[in-house]
């Protein structure tokens, strides 16, 4: 039981249900402990060689990653993207398209999410790159 400090009881005196947990990586069969002991016994050069072998093995066993085609933007999202690329503010875009600023924010957020972007300058770059595709 923890001592009382400055007139306040510690957590165990208040009926705390905390119990001492085992380390999350310990296993009853001792596999982690055995592998950990083997790793600690390696020299630096052996550890580097092991890591390099493991990395090469993972690259050969890993399936080829198929890139998902980017989601197609709506006509309005393309209009907004073009105006963002022209360096207009949300207020200016909203005025030119007769929409609210909040709607423009939603369109820009959708563009970011659909194209995997996170900055207005990336929208400009994405449009430039899209124009160069034959």
- Residue 94: predicted pLDDT: 96
C-alpha 82/C-alpha 94 separation (Å) is 13
pTM across the whole model:
0.48
- Residue 67: predicted pLDDT: 47
Helix (H) or strand (E) holding 56: helix 44-61
N-to-C CA span, the chain: 75
The residue assigned the tokens 């430039």 is 128
- Residue 7: predicted pLDDT: 55
pLDDT per residue of the chain (134 residues) written in tens, 0 to 9: 555 555 555 555 555 555 555 555 555 667 778 888 888 888 888 888 887 777 666 666 555 544 455 678 999 999 999 999 999 999 999 999 999 999 999 999 999 999 888 999 999 888 888 765 44
């Amino acid at each position: 039981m923890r001592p009382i400090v400055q007139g306040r009881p510690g957590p165990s005196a208040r009926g705390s249900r905390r119990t001492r947990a085992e380390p999350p990586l310990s296993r009853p069969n001792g596999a982690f402990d055995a592998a950990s002991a083997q790793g600690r016994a390696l020299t630096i050069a052996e550890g580097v060689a092991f890591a390099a072998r493991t990395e090469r093995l993972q690259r050969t066993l890993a399936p080829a990653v198929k890139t998902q085609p980017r989601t197609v933007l709506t006509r309005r999202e393309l209009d907004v993207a073009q105006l963002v690329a022209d360096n207009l503010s949300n207020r200016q875009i909203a005025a030119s398209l007769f929409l609210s600023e909040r709607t423009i924010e939603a369109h820009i957020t959708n563009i970011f999410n659909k194209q995997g972007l996170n900055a207005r300058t990336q929208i400009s770059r994405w449009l430039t790159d899209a124009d160069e595709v034959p």
